[in-house]
Amino acid sequence: MKRPTPLQRYIAENVHGRCGQAVTRLAEAGLVQHPEMPFSEAEVREWWLVSPQAARALQEAGQPVLQFCELHLWGRTQARGQPLEDDPALAAAARPAPPPEPTGW
């Protein structure tokens, strides 16, 4: 049996499922701001329910992320139908943070 890669484990633990219709309905009801990112050239192609940890990392990487109550929704801008493992934004979010710089005494 093939062992999952670190990225596959990250996806299994932090990306929970597609939620495009939910985002559309929340936006139509005025419960979330317009889901497109007005300051970005990237178009959101899919919405995914993600963990708070993944949402933070993706948002820090400049990816569109919405929050509604305790739900975190990531707007994937890569081509629809491509595997999540091939998404560069998700791969970057999955990388461990670098250790803090020593402050020196």
Q: What is the pLDDT of residues 14-62, one digit of tens each?
A: 999 999 888 888 888 888 876 555 555 568 888 999 999 999 999 988 8
Q: What number is the average pLDDT over the span 82-101?
A: 86
Greatest Cα pair distance in the chain: 55
Q: Where does the pLDDT of residue 71 fall: very low under 50, low under 70, confident under 90, or very high at 90 and above?
A: very high
Q: pTM of the predicted model, to two decimals?
A: 0.81
Q: Identify the pLDDT of residue 11.
A: 94
CA dihedral in degrees (4, 52, 66, 86; nearest 10)?
A: -20
Q: Identify the pLDDT of residue 80.
A: 73
Q: Identify the pLDDT of residue 17.
A: 93
Q: Identify the pLDDT of residue 37.
A: 57
* 76 vs 37: CA distance, rounded Å: 11
Q: Identify the pLDDT of residue 51.
A: 96
Q: Identify the pLDDT of residue 41.
A: 58
